[in-house]
Amino acid sequence: MTGGRAHSGAREQGAAPVSQQYAGASTADTEDVVGLILADHREFERLFRLLRNREEDRAALRGQLADLLVAHAEAEEQEVYPALRRKAPEEAEEIEHGSEEHSEGHEALLELLEVADVDDHDTFEDKLEELVEALNHHIDEEERDILNAARENVGDDERAELGRAFLAVRNRLLEGTPGDVDNVGRLVDEAREKGEL
Ligand SMILES: [Fe+2]
Ligand SMILES: [Fe+2]
């Protein structure tokens, strides 16, 4: 049994463990944290393309993207960013900026999740475009600044260790529904209280 989900009809009874229903880092053939993060980024881009298609099940895809985005960002912030801050203190500002961009992404995600009628194409596509723009910007900066800092400052063994820690947090979150509208709303409220938004 997979239990009820408010925002996604994608899960079926008797299916594989929830975290394995996702592509990206779940199926990547590497333990390297850089490779795992890149694999999730490519999965986000695949989901963006599917979400642009009016013939797809947009409600299910939206839920899938939301869960993966929140789990990925939380795992980066819990495991990867703090380790990198220790290894490369000179990157502290870039890392802080990355966390702020996660909050901006969550804010744009919340607006997409709040579109009540996914068949209202114009509204859905406006909100999707805003989310894709915010995320593409973050993915670009993260890959250039933060992941290059990891390549330069963190050795292979530690990158594998970080990869396992990243995946453990990400997959544990994916057993629940981290992208549901209430949780994303809570994350946005917290970011506003911290002055990130
Ligand atoms: Fe990322
Ligand atoms: Fe990120």
Ligand nearest to the CA of 41: 1
Print pLDDT tens along the chain (197 aa): 333 344 544 445 556 666 667 889 989 999 999 999 999 999 999 999 999 999 999 999 999 999 999 999 999 999 999 999 999 999 999 999 999 999 999 999 999 999 999 999 999 999 999 999 999 999 999 999 999 999 999 999 999 999 999 999 999 999 999 999 999 999 999 999 999 99
CA 80 to centroid of ligand 1, rounded, Å? 10
Q: Which two tokens stand for residue 17?
A: 């463990």
Ligand nearest to the CA of 38: 1
- Alpha carbon of 86 to those of 51, 95, 155: distances in Å? 38, 11, 13
Provide the residue ranges of all domains of the chain, joining segments of one domain with +.
30-193
CA 1 to centroid of ligand 1, rounded, Å? 30
Q: Of 176, 166, 164, which Cα lies nearest the Cα of 73?
A: 166
pTM score > 0.75 for this model?
yes
What DSSP string describes 57-107? -HHHHHHHHHHHHHHHHHHIIIIIHHHHHHH-GGGHHHHHHHHHHHHHHHH
